[in-house]
Amino acid sequence: MTEHWKTLSASGEHRVVVTKSLPGQLWLEVLQDADCRVEVCHSRTVLTGKEIRDAIGDRCAGVIGQLTEPWDAELFSRLAEAGGKVYSNYAVGYDNVDVDAATRQGIAVGNTPGVLTETTAELAVALTFAAARRVVEADRFMRKEQYRGWLPDLFLGELLWNKTVGVIGTGRIGSAYARMMVEGHHMNLLYYDPSPNPSLEAAVREFDRYLRSGGEQGIFCRRVEALEELLREADVISLHPALNEQTRHLMGARELTMMKENAVLVNVSRGPVIDEAALVQHCATHPEFRVGLDVYEQEPDMASGLSELENVVLAPHIGSATRWTRQGMAVLAARNIVGVLLKYPAWDGDDMRPFLSPESPSAAPSLVNRRTLNWPVTGQ
């Protein structure tokens, strides 16, 4: 272990490795109360596979890792050899994790859903309007002291009120974003998802009735069968799919060309959903097209030319970056570790709030491979 590592509760029975320092204190207390020796890496660089293997060593009960780390068969084999029983991803997504490899080794895999939803959706909304209203361009203009007074055509952007928003992927975050745009800005909704979303559709119908009862213009919600329909009709498109082989480069040169000249494209899901080189080319040749990005195809690197584009707003993967959310993620990750080590059942519910207080259910909040491991479950 290097100078970047710090050991807490050195006499603890269960050795738990945490590959990045986590916010808050409750997550650490959860591990310490379960008699865990906690070894935390305070380096701000992404650990390599070798560094993680070295950290696991020959005795390790569990690991809390990061979405920036490729947890492959080799790492899970090393963890199993060290006596490991659980890996918890400090994220809701787990496309960086070979879950099948973990399952073959008998290792439970946890994630942290339920606390990122509104936070990440809010960031998508912020990027939407920052792009549509050219906020970052205007900010740079002001900081360079170029403002000489109000002008009728200075930084003209797009009005989104009563326009159409297209949402690709209506899981928790996509649905929350859709409702924020519909209910906050009276936008029509198109959504593209393998499965219908009855609760989202019902919420939009109810809001439509509310608007019409007050004499306002109504709105609609429609699930589209073909992605092309959404691309052609939507004024704003926000990406919220899981990353897999079907969604990798879901937005390429062909799809970008189908969108409106002045459309807004937002991505807070995973970078490889967009062909970033094609995006750079499209933005360079379509100056009225606007983009808001929080994730990148080769993160942390950006495609050549992306940072030079005035019509793109860039954020450094901060979708879940509020204190409440990041602390909540840490607590959920720790409770996944403890739940497995103490042989608790897995939680069979979507509401994670019971786990965020010092007194929580005796359960592992979220084990993504519980069924294949035949892990027992407990209800809400």
pLDDT averaged over 10-residue windows placed end to end, the chain, 380 residues: 86 98 97 98 94 97 97 98 98 95 98 96 98 98 97 97 98 97 98 97 98 97 98 98 95 98 98 98 98 97 98 97 97 98 95 94 97 90
Residue 325 has a pLDDT of 97
Buried b / exposed e across 34-67, counting CB within 10 Å, b at 16+? bebbbbbbeeeeebeeebbbebbeeebbbbbbbb
Residue 2 has a pLDDT of 65
Residue 3 has a pLDDT of 77
DSSP tag of 356: S
Query: Tokens representing 165?
Result: 């928003």
Helix (H) or strand (E) holding 283: helix 276-285
Our answer to whether residue 222 is catalytic in this structure is no
- Total domains in the fold of the chain: 2
Domain that holds residue 214: 117-314
CB atoms closer than 10 angstroms to residue 11: 6
Q: C-alpha distances in angstroms, 17 versus 65, 244, 272?
A: 8, 28, 29
Question: Do both 123 and 238 map to the same domain?
Answer: yes
Our answer to whether residue 270 is catalytic in this structure is yes
Question: Do both 72 and 212 map to the same domain?
Answer: no
Euclidean distance between CA atoms 91 and 111, whole angstroms: 6
Catalytic residue among 133, 317, 335, 370: 317
Euclidean distance between CA atoms 72 and 69, whole angstroms: 9
Catalytic residue among 179, 270, 290, 326: 270
Residue 67 has a pLDDT of 94
The type of residue at 332 is L
Question: Do both 76 and 167 map to the same domain?
Answer: no
φ, ψ of residue 267 in degrees (nearest 5): -135, 115
Question: Do both 79 and 224 map to the same domain?
Answer: no
CB atoms closer than 10 angstroms to residue 245: 6
φ, ψ of residue 192 in degrees (nearest 5): -120, 115
Our answer to whether residue 249 is catalytic in this structure is no
Residue 318 has a pLDDT of 97
- Those residues whose C-beta lies under 8 Å from the C-beta of residue 35, and which sit 6 or more positions away, are 9, 12, 13, 14
Residue 379 has a pLDDT of 77
Query: Tokens representing 195?
Result: 């499965």
Question: Do both 256 and 172 map to the same domain?
Answer: yes
Euclidean distance between CA atoms 294 and 315, whole angstroms: 5
Q: Are 236 and 263 in contact (CB under 8 A)?
A: yes
What is the CATH number for 64? 3.40.50.720
- Those residues whose C-beta lies under 8 Å from the C-beta of residue 69, and which sit 6 or more positions away, are 19, 46, 47, 49, 52, 96
Where does a domain end: 314, 332, 347? 314
Question: Do both 165 and 106 map to the same domain?
Answer: no
Question: Do both 103 and 176 map to the same domain?
Answer: no
Question: Do both 174 and 127 map to the same domain?
Answer: yes
